[in-house]
Structure 1
Amino acid sequence: MEHLQKTAAVVEDLVKINNDRVEGYNKARLQTDDLDLKELFETMIADSKQNTTELNKYLRSLGEERERDTTFAGKLYRTWMDVKVTFGGGDRRAILATCEYGEDAAQKSYNTALDQDFLPPEVRTIISDQRIKLRSAHDKIRYLRDLETANKG
């Protein structure tokens, strides 16, 4: 029983991380006029919503309620994003750098989750598959950020 509660807590945290991503990318989408970034951010939002749906399905299989909240750290991150972009003037590189910071946090959360030895194989597979997709998103954001740095340098 204790392992089920611990597993549910880990999955709930990952749902919150994905909810943070949705809110963060919604803010980022509103901060830019670049259509390619708006499209990319919409894809990231859709991916996080899919992750949340998958994780919440697993929570329901454990008899838990759906998680809809975000993390306190995520709220702080989005506030920082607002401040940074305001002072950066909505600069493409600043937006991408802030998004990369959020992606780093998501990777850390997924890595921490996978370090838990009590996770059942089925949820470990879900988390691992999502981490791979999130890593790809992280790398795309970092590539675009680096491209902006090179173009301005």
Structure 2
Amino acid sequence: MPDTSSSATENLNHLIIIANDGRLGYKEAAEYAENPILKASFLRYATERSEFAGELTALVTAAGTAPENGSGPLGALHRVWIDIKTSFTAQNDAGLLEDCIRGDKTAVSAYKTALEDAALSADLQLVLKRHLRLTEDALFDLQQQSASSH
């Protein structure tokens, strides 16, 4: 990765935390989902978020910086996934969908904020735009599933 500013690296680390939290949230949702199609969607999105985290971690490491491991002050903004995990025990599929939608809205917002950083190289912008597009696609899918379940 080309010379990466500290703000770009901070944004990438922020997104690593979001991706890790999303992976855990989707994995947890899949465990509680009753609908097999919904369960498969949650597992697919958990895998996707894991791939995002791996890709972002590699970019931060290539810049010569230690990547976030999912803890620290940046993670405080994404405790929505922790709230989701603690509320799963009494939820049905509709509640799981709503919680995952809320988490992906947080992720979309974070990607849009990160993309506003003028210090991002063109290569980094491409990666983040791809992650954003896939997250928006997942969000749309979840919203459609939620609408059809009501």
Deviations 1:33-58 (A, max 9, x none): 22212211110011011111111111
* Cα-Cα RMSD: 1.8
2:34 counterpart SS class:
coil
TM-score, structure 2 length as denominator?
0.88
Instruction: Pick closer, same or farther for the CA change 1:118–1:69 going to 2, 3 Å.
Output: same
Bigger radius of gyration among the two? 1
Deviations 1:43-75 (A, max 9, x none): 00110111111111111110012322151233x
Match for residue 99 of structure 1? 100
1:57 counterpart SS class:
helix
More displaced, 100-109 or 35-44?
A: 35-44
Q: Percent of aligned positions with the same letter in both sequences?
A: 17
Match for residue 44 of structure 1? 45
1:72 aligns with 2:73: no
Match for residue 81 of structure 1? 84
TM-score, structure 1 length as denominator?
0.86
Q: Which runs of 5+ in 2 are unaligned?
A: none
Equivalent residue pairs, number:
145
Q: Which has the higher contact order (CA 8 A, sep 6+)?
A: 2
Match for residue 11 of structure 1? 12
Q: Which runs of 5+ in 1 are unaligned?
A: none
Distance in 1, matches of 2:99 and 2:8, equals 30
Residues 84 and 94 of structure 1 are in contact (CA less than 8 Å); yes or no, is this contact kept in structure 2? Answer: no
